[in-house]
Amino acid sequence: MMKLYLNPASPFARKVRISALELALAERIELIEVSLSPVQPHHGLRSHNPLGKIPALLTEANEALYDSPVICEYLDALAGGDRLWPAAGAARWRALRRQALADGLAEAAILMRYELVIRPEALRWSEWLDDQRLKVRTALDALEAEPLDGPFDIGAISIVCALEYLEFRFPEERWREGRPQLAAWHERLRRRPSVASTRPA
């Protein structure tokens, strides 16, 4: 049995959970919830990931893997390969580029949340916060211009997780406004069983 260390609200951990469901591997993974804070490290997690970050996967061979791109590609290989990670050619680079863009969007949103929720208000750096918000918005605009129809690969999974994290933590951003193609694409995928069943409460 593999062990996945995660927080259910993490878009990166959710990528792994969706991938596991899509690859029919979820029943081989035990989920271990970890409460994390940038100012209160989880020392037990560090024994599997020296960076103290989630997600981290302990394989059936007791080897630790991190972070989400590595874990998801490992699961894809475990399921036979070329399922969520195209093996070669233009499809592979498109999926990897989309994953990078979506992961960057999610990371900027997480940093915004840290700044607004964890840092004392008197110490917040408004220019830095504005830069993270700009990254989120320019990434969304790039996704709106992207022809997203295609297979539900690692790129699509990453985008769904980033969009829904933004919706979960920053509903005031109203990311759908002015982005009808992206909103319609998300609406088609939000009911997919692997997506719906991993949505944070």
Judge whether residue 172 has pLDDT over 80: yes
pLDDT tens digits, one per residue of 42-91: 667 777 788 878 999 999 999 999 999 999 999 999 999 999 999 999 99
Query: How remote is the C-alpha of 111 from its chain's centroid?
Result: 14
Q: For the residues 24-39, what does the mean pLDDT come to?
A: 86
DSSP string, 73-120: HHHHHHTTSSSSS--SHHHHHHHHHHHHHHHHHHHHHHHHHIIIIIS-
> Could you give all domains of the chain from N- to C-terminal order, each with its CATH number?
2-78 (3.40.30.10), 89-195 (1.20.1050.10)
**Residue 41 pLDDT grade (very low, low, confident, very high; cuts 50, 70, 90):** low
Task: Give me the pLDDT at residue 63, please.
Answer: 95
